[in-house]
Structure 1
């Protein structure tokens, strides 16, 4: 099996200026953004920049890959003194602080994975509406495979374009929080920045070591060094503070920390090492930012939010548990054995490769399977019409039964035996129509998720029916595929029984389980009682907010008015 290294977009986009060389050679990005990723610094996204306004500000620390439980442990252990100083003393009520409120039970969308989750967090819309269902996906209406964070495919052009050509702004189908708020907004490092005034990224010199460190961790040659990932987060904050010094504060400021997620994926002891990273790297940078606000006399008038996209579940870094995309012992082999011509594992295809009848996209705990109506492209060399849906009986159900057999008995692909938790499918709809909810295959038929769960209770799969509907239904629900595979995973299982769709890693995410799904939503304001903070949050977005509540909450806090 060929190993695939998942390297997030920002690393590829600015790696030691290599992206600039690539872009100059290909002519595929605007010159100014190419210059930005080659040199680091800031990019003005809006002319003129919106003037700063009186009234409350919002400062968001966006922590990639940090679950609620891990952040809570880091705070209570005393590892985060700068954040704790803003929160004040913990109160008797769970989640309440002297000047802050940590909302319990906040769930991510599904899949709980980077690009889908941040799209929903910064828009307030589920994946079936944002058009971004994961780290990679197939848009059948465009006949195009997108991979801003490639997992199954081998090419990285989309990853480069996240920053050089504003890829995520182009594919996002709904308005961002910056567009909705219409206030001066700065974004540090986050891929979703359409509608903001400024984007800042670090000096690319800090990225070179990350590729080597990631490769070392993935191949098992050595434990990766935290320092390579630390440079990414530290230099990002340094770049932002330079912008603040020159231009002043924003009304809405996003500071994104991707290094903690990158490191957790490859660290030898993922959760313990993440705790150390939070204390040694993230909290110190939070302290630098808060000191800047305090010196500017703005801290008392600033709402501070800590949010995240997902958590992490430790897994075994070996070929048995890493369900890859290339090889006769991997999940796409089931499609080939069922008679489908599978899409080559590249972003761009040659003319000879355009006759595919099936494609896969990987999201860690989930895999999306896309199927064509084979009756209109039966022979090798025939191009399928991907605007036309597959047939349920002739195309979808044979694939469902084949994966079920492989999971139960190892039929055709022995490595898949016992690797899958749930297999879901639905009645297909043409591209451009609202997609239907997924249903669960119970071994003989497709059953509505709610009905299946009543007969087979799965309390560890948190709010599964509602969250799956957010992924599957809506105008872009078809981006999640025709068949949905959920790997057997979760910390409730021994690590030897956890599987994931990807190359080899030390931890992954994406599942409906608590470890992956419960995310922090921590709100604080200096000088404001924690009970008042809690009341403001609940008045704005209800007593049980989700990841989709962050954008409405930000808009309310910026307004300065109680709901």
Structure 2
């Protein structure tokens, strides 16, 4: 059996054990195991009553659904319930604004993107640089959605102990809203970032485990009904738990966030490419669930109008489910081999290490890209010594040798044959996070140039606002979370799937790149009593002329608790 399949099997066993951690941290763990749960995060008695005419907002967060896929389906009437939620019947949607300019943050990955949405700040500010990343000052790996490691406990701890919340350096939109308007209560269903909300709702452990197991299996029977997939079971239970909570509460929340992940799971595991199966899932599973949610909200709101915000985190790019294109942690000729051959002691691919663990370099994976962190090796030259990662790496002595090693590996397969022709760009940090442009394109032999110069010299037609988004990742108080070297795989820039690579175990689709397919997210705002032009004016008053992903959070706060514009 190939090692990557062994790894997946081990991960599944570990997942089962990790879900048991919910018992330790969350009151009512037995209830969670059998039917899902709701967890009161704030004493409801401490929240002043809201005015009956106070604005209300639904945020429908769809994982892995780009606008090129979603918008035509809505406008063509393929998703009638979602159309009705947006206040119309296709093709007439007079009460909805479809944004055509917004892009995902960089990386275009789940945790960085949702942290951006639910804080209203970019990664270099909120600190969640990806699905996994290294925190230099603490010498620890943060992995809210593990990619390179076989420990899914952070996923369950996110719901039982606020693991993802604790990674944020800034308040969530729920905390901001409570500061602005203490009477504005919020419920959150399944979203990783929920600090400040009154209530957290989530699915049962067996249903979550079923979805994780399906993802690890890495294959989807495309002939079966989407309703029979474990991902449908997850999204259906999420919506049903929200409906049950609404019916059991005397008043609907001012802000309700419902996070549905099935489309992303289906994309990652779909044979035949991500688009067809995401479309099927949206039609067969998501749309009926939205219909049930819409009916329950209308009943709970008792005729009061509610804003609807539909937003996604990223899109998808098809990749090949084979060892040639998966740049993994397992094989002797994959990226770890490059680090070791260059003479660096590499941190093991585990969530935790001992305080005195000896490593000079760290890798964190994220699909289309990977982060590499390097110590100032003068602090730990001798084997067995502990590197001081709180000190920045030296450019010539520490960063350049490893950047050159990866450049050589991609050019010729040197030290890692499977990496030949795998990298589009090697980006290096030449200044501290407070600098104007911390990452430049590595050209070889210690030379680098600004990304803008490279893009002028070698156009990348599929990349959008790359330099701007790279700044938002690398420039700021937490810019060092993105590493000293960023390896950008040939992925979203390639027409031919045979030329696409990704940093992960075996998958059928990934994301993370600055490409259009990964980055052009969905963002729709509607209100049953306002027309498209009025909604557009409201959005632009808060967000300006060109939308960024962080604007979604800022707009949501303003819709729930408006300020004069």
Instruction: Judge conservation of contact 1:33–1:163 (CA < 8 Å) in 2.
Output: no
Long gaps (5+) in structure 1: none
Distance 2:221 2:308 in 1: 41
Instruction: Judge conservation of contact 1:13–1:159 (CA < 8 Å) in 2.
Output: no
Q: What SS does the aligned partner of 1:441 have?
A: strand
Instruction: Judge conservation of contact 1:435–1:477 (CA < 8 Å) in 2.
Output: no
Confirm or deny that 1:450 pairs with 2:452: yes
Post-superposition Cα deviations, 1:316-359, rounded to whole Å, max 9, x if no partner, equal: 1000111112221111211111100101111122578x111111
Confirm or deny that 1:199 pairs with 2:189: no
Instruction: Judge conservation of contact 2:18–2:153 (CA < 8 Å) in 1.
Output: no
Q: What SS does the aligned partner of 2:3 have?
A: coil
Q: After TM superposition, give the deviation of residue 264 of structure 1 in Å.
A: 1.3
Q: After TM superposition, give the deviation of residue 532 of structure 1 in Å.
A: 1.6
Instruction: Judge conservation of contact 1:42–1:201 (CA < 8 Å) in 2.
Output: yes
Distance 1:482 1:121 in 2: 25
Confirm or deny that 1:549 pairs with 2:544: no
Confirm or deny that 1:528 pairs with 2:527: no
Distance 2:316 2:8 in 1: 15
Structure 1 pair 531/404, CA: closer, same or farther in 2 (3 Å)?
same
Structure 1 pair 321/175, CA: closer, same or farther in 2 (3 Å)?
same
Confirm or deny that 1:178 pairs with 2:182: no
Distance 2:438 2:225 in 1: 43
Distance 2:431 2:206 in 1: 48
Q: Which residue of 1 aligns with 2:423?
A: 420
**Aligned residues: CA RMSD:** 2.6
Q: After TM superposition, give the deviation of residue 122 of structure 1 in Å.
A: 0.6
Instruction: Judge conservation of contact 1:186–1:199 (CA < 8 Å) in 2.
Output: yes
Q: After TM superposition, give the deviation of residue 379 of structure 1 in Å.
A: 2.1
Instruction: Judge conservation of contact 1:300–1:526 (CA < 8 Å) in 2.
Output: no
Structure 1 pair 455/215, CA: closer, same or farther in 2 (3 Å)?
closer
Q: Which residue of 1 aligns with 2:295?
A: 291
- Single out whichever of 453-462 and 114-123 deviates more from structure 2: 453-462
Instruction: Report 1:107-118 matches (<5 A).
Output: 107-118=103-114
Instruction: Judge conservation of contact 1:300–1:525 (CA < 8 Å) in 2.
Output: no
- Single out whichever of 338-347 and 538-547 deviates more from structure 2: 538-547
Post-superposition Cα deviations, 1:169-216, rounded to whole Å, max 9, x if no partner, equal: 111101111011122000001110001000001233423433443343
Distance 1:418 1:412 in 2: 13
Q: After TM superposition, give the deviation of residue 46 of structure 1 in Å.
A: 0.5
Long gaps (5+) in structure 2: 179-183
Confirm or deny that 1:103 pairs with 2:99: yes
Instruction: Report 1:134-145 matches (<5 A).
Output: 134-145=130-141
Q: Which residue of 2 aligns with 1:55?
A: 54
Post-superposition Cα deviations, 1:262-299, rounded to whole Å, max 9, x if no partner, equal: 12100113210000101111111111111112223456
Q: TM-score, normalised by structure 1?
A: 0.91
Q: Which residue of 1 aligns with 2:124?
A: 128
Q: Which residue of 1 aligns with 2:471?
A: 469
Q: What SS does the aligned partner of 1:319 have?
A: coil
Distance 2:538 2:87 in 1: 16
Post-superposition Cα deviations, 1:102-151, rounded to whole Å, max 9, x if no partner, equal: 01021010000001100001111111111100011111101111112111
Q: Which residue of 1 aligns with 2:181?
A: none
Distance 1:21 1:105 in 2: 43
Distance 2:431 2:477 in 1: 13
Instruction: Report 1:431-510 matches (<5 A).
Output: 437-444=438-445, 445-490=447-492, 492-510=494-512
Q: What SS does the aligned partner of 1:512 have?
A: coil
Q: After TM superposition, give the deviation of residue 221 of structure 1 in Å.
A: 9.7
Q: What SS does the aligned partner of 1:32 have?
A: coil
Q: After TM superposition, give the deviation of residue 89 of structure 1 in Å.
A: 5.1
Q: Which residue of 2 aligns with 1:306?
A: 310
Q: Runs of 4+ in structure 1 displaced over 4 angstroms?
A: 4-7, 11-15, 33-37, 220-225, 297-300, 433-436
Instruction: Judge conservation of contact 2:368–2:502 (CA < 8 Å) in 1.
Output: yes
Q: After TM superposition, give the deviation of residue 455 of structure 1 in Å.
A: 2.7
Q: After TM superposition, give the deviation of residue 416 of structure 1 in Å.
A: 0.9
Structure 1 pair 142/224, CA: closer, same or farther in 2 (3 Å)?
farther
Distance 1:436 1:211 in 2: 38
Q: Which residue of 2 aligns with 1:317?
A: 321
Count of aligned pairs between the two proteins = 547
Instruction: Judge conservation of contact 1:435–1:476 (CA < 8 Å) in 2.
Output: no
Structure 1 pair 534/223, CA: closer, same or farther in 2 (3 Å)?
same
Distance 1:130 1:397 in 2: 28
Instruction: Report 1:73-88 matches (<5 A).
Output: 73-85=72-84, 86-88=86-88
Q: What SS does the aligned partner of 1:296 have?
A: helix
Distance 2:234 2:423 in 1: 35
